[in-house]
Chain A
Amino acid sequence: MAATDALPSRLRRLAAAVRRALAELVASCARRHGGAQGSSAAKVFGVVGGLLAGSGAGGVELPEDRADAMYHRWDGGGLTAQGPALLVRKSIAEKVSLAATYYVDMLSNASIDVVTTASPYKETRSEYGLVADYVYRNSHIIVAGSSSSEPDYEARAVNLDVAQEVFGGMTTVNLGFSSGSDDVGKKNSPEFSETARHWRYRIGLAQILTPRWLANLNFEAVSDDGFLGSPYRTALVFGASVPERVPSTRSSRAVKLSILGEVVRDNVAYADYRYFWDNWGIGAHTFGAGYRRYFGEKLLADAYLRYYLQDAALFYSDNAQTETAYVSRNRQLSTFSSISAGARISYRAATLPGGYPLLVNGAYEFVSYSFDDFTDVRTGSLYSYNAHVLQLVLTTKF
């Protein structure tokens, strides 16, 4: 059409000039930084935020107003963690949306660590969050803060994420930065007071492949500093219990590729793979796949499988036979695999007075963990356990 003919050629010339300039800058960037630590570069760089890359291809719009109430529950490995969670989101002015979240975790902990070194206990953790979204042209900016507290641990975090639609809306670039700061305490030990800091940098690309297929590529670097262990956890060295010694820094990377597509009308299949590695020697693979379909107008069902594999940290040992600077028996850092299967149902239950929809969402997942180098000291054999995860959510949008 005549209207748009003049524009593409002018833009193509501009794009070519920009490309040349960018290539020069990037090359000089790489030359300058050969071998440098890159810490300040990374931190300043990370301040340009990023967002949830999973938003699909709906264009840049403010998230819709909503109120959600959830009941969540984890039952497994001797631990029960359950509680409510609430979310309320409202747009104020055409371009800004605010949300507040409240999350409670009530733990009843009789897990293997607890029963073999102490006695079962109950504890409650609560977390408050505030999120502000701002949409300007093709950009979506999110600023969020959260504060979590339990009797022996306080954590605060801020996040900044920016999603930018480019390339005619076919591609969304997401950049994100999070910074967290924790105060670590120890029950019945008022003199114990440590801190930990965390930084996360995310970059992601959401790409429309065809009118029915999408792909996402995400990369996240996490950096921790400070007291990264647990004051209650012990390690075994030559069979004797010693307090664990964990490095005071950790630096990790993760890359994830996801694909989602409509295979048949109203039937969607998706799959993802994530590779994780860090400077503690842990390498992990996560495989996921699932299928979703509509049943009639009101019901959406989703079923998925997840398989997780991890290699132990360098200083992890079930029962260390040498003296090393760092040693830990934290099974979270051991060699293990986990397989889970889950299903989720979303149902448009009713329409409330005023025309607001009431959506009911229920999910159940069965997870099985099996450890290759962590023994259950009560039985002497390798530890494994199963868990059940439940989520029930009521949502209304207005």
Chain B
Amino acid sequence: MATAVRCLIIVLVALAACAGTAAAVQASPAAASAPDFTLRSADGPNVRLQEQRGRVVMVNFWATWCGPCRQEMPHLNRLYGKYRDAGFTLLGVNIDDDQAKAVGLASRLGLKFPVLLDSDKKVSRLYDLSTMPSTVLIDRDGRVRYLHLGYREGFEDTYEKQIRELLKE
């Protein structure tokens, strides 16, 4: 019986060890300059990250086929509407192969923030995306301050807290 329990523990530990590497991690990285990029937006004009200097920027990577991304959208929409006038902007970078699907879903969800299209995955590779969705918070000087991998209930409260903190600087 004891050996059986040991075998059980082995498997659970192995699962935990490997699952741990994939769990969403909230990291506070050494402040590094956010890699610049230019992408076409769903409305038409190009949007460049560097031009957003002076504002707090949240870059959210999402896809139509990603469940947690869709769950997160109403919260992002709300945060954009609430803090937009205080100098906050949100860039929703979509990585679908089919841009039309992305634009369609964005309008169905009623997204107010700019939706940028990265169907050739250049920016995803530039930011070395390891999880979907990924959310990057960039301060007014263009430095990456917070990185959130994945989305779980309650993350939106953390986003709000961090946005307010960065807006105060």
Direct contact of A and B (CB under 8 A): yes
- Chain A residues within CB distance 8 Å of chain B: 1-7, 11, 14-15, 18, 21-22, 25-26, 28-29, 32-33, 40-45, 47-48, 58-59, 61, 94, 137-139, 164-169, 171, 173, 175
Given A3-B27, A41-B4: A26 touches B22 (CB 8 Å cut-off) = no
Instruction: Assess whether A59 is in contact with B67, with CB atoms less than 8 Å apart.
Output: yes
Instruction: Assess whether B147 is in contact with A29, with CB atoms less than 8 Å apart.
Output: no
Min distance, Cβ A199 to any Cβ of chain B, angstroms = 14
Q: Which of these binds chain A: B9-17, B40-48, B88-96, B111-119?
A: B9-17
* Bound form: Cα–Cα A21–B6 in Å: 12
- Chain B residues within CB distance 8 Å of chain A: 1, 3-15, 17-25, 27, 29-30, 32, 35, 66-68, 127-128, 130-131, 136, 144, 147, 152-153
- Cross-chain contact of B18 among A4, A33, A58, A167 (Cβ < 8 A): A167
* Bound form: Cα–Cα A114–B131 in Å: 59
Closest to A41 in B: B4
Q: Is the interface of A mostly helix, strand, loop or mixed?
A: helix
* Bound form: Cα–Cα A42–B21 in Å: 29
Contacts of B127 in A (CB 8 A): 1
- Cross-chain contact of B147 among A4, A21, A43, A138 (Cβ < 8 A): A4
Instruction: Assess whether B10 is in contact with A25, with CB atoms less than 8 Å apart.
Output: yes
How many A-B pairs fall under 8 Å by CB?
Answer: 109
Instruction: Assess whether A165 is in contact with B29, with CB atoms less than 8 Å apart.
Output: no
Given A25-B10, A166-B19, A167-B18: A44 touches B4 (CB 8 Å cut-off) = yes
* Bound form: Cα–Cα A59–B152 in Å: 13
Min distance, Cβ A93 to any Cβ of chain B, angstroms = 11
Instruction: Assess whether A26 is in contact with B3, with CB atoms less than 8 Å apart.
Output: no
Instruction: Assess whether B66 is in contact with A59, with CB atoms less than 8 Å apart.
Output: yes
Min distance, Cβ A48 to any Cβ of chain B, angstroms = 6
Instruction: Assess whether A138 is in contact with B22, with CB atoms less than 8 Å apart.
Output: yes
* Bound form: Cα–Cα A9–B131 in Å: 18
10 pairs of A and B residues whose beta carbons are closest in the complex: A3-B29, A41-B4, A2-B32, A166-B18, A44-B4, A3-B147, A18-B17, A61-B67, A1-B128, A168-B22
Given A41-B4, A41-B7, A61-B67: A14 touches B22 (CB 8 Å cut-off) = no
* Bound form: Cα–Cα A48–B13 in Å: 13
Contacts of B4 in A (CB 8 A): 40-45
Contacts of B23 in A (CB 8 A): 137-138
Instruction: Assess whether A166 is in contact with B22, with CB atoms less than 8 Å apart.
Output: yes
Given A29-B3, A61-B67: A166 touches B8 (CB 8 Å cut-off) = no
Contacts of B19 in A (CB 8 A): 137-139, 164-166
Contacts of B5 in A (CB 8 A): 44
Instruction: Assess whether B144 is in contact with A2, with CB atoms less than 8 Å apart.
Output: yes
Instruction: Assess whether A175 is in contact with B11, with CB atoms less than 8 Å apart.
Output: yes
Instruction: Assess whether B21 is in contact with A165, with CB atoms less than 8 Å apart.
Output: no
Instruction: Assess whether B14 is in contact with A29, with CB atoms less than 8 Å apart.
Output: no
Given A1-B127, A166-B18, A168-B21: A22 touches B13 (CB 8 Å cut-off) = yes
- Supplied contacts A5-B29, A15-B17, 5 more A-B pairs, CB within 8 Å: A2-B32, A3-B144, A44-B4, A166-B18, A169-B22
Instruction: Assess whether B15 is in contact with A166, with CB atoms less than 8 Å apart.
Output: yes
Given A45-B8, A48-B12, A167-B21: A94 touches B144 (CB 8 Å cut-off) = no
Instruction: Assess whether B21 is in contact with A4, with CB atoms less than 8 Å apart.
Output: no
Closest to A139 in B: B19
Min distance, Cβ B79 to any Cβ of chain A, angstroms = 20
Q: List 26 A-B contacts (CB under 8 A).
A: A1-B32, A1-B128, A1-B144, A2-B29, A2-B32, A3-B27, A4-B29, A6-B27, A25-B6, A26-B10, A29-B10, A40-B4, A42-B4, A44-B8, A45-B7, A48-B8, A48-B11, A59-B66, A59-B68, A137-B152, A138-B22, A164-B19, A166-B15, A166-B19, A166-B21, A168-B21
Given A18-B13, A59-B67, A166-B22: A41 touches B3 (CB 8 Å cut-off) = yes
- Cross-chain contact of A33 among B3, B8, B17, B29 (Cβ < 8 A): B3
Min distance, Cβ B62 to any Cβ of chain A, angstroms = 13
Closest to B128 in A: A1
Min distance, Cβ B34 to any Cβ of chain A, angstroms = 9
Contacts of A47 in B (CB 8 A): 8
* Bound form: Cα–Cα A167–B66 in Å: 18
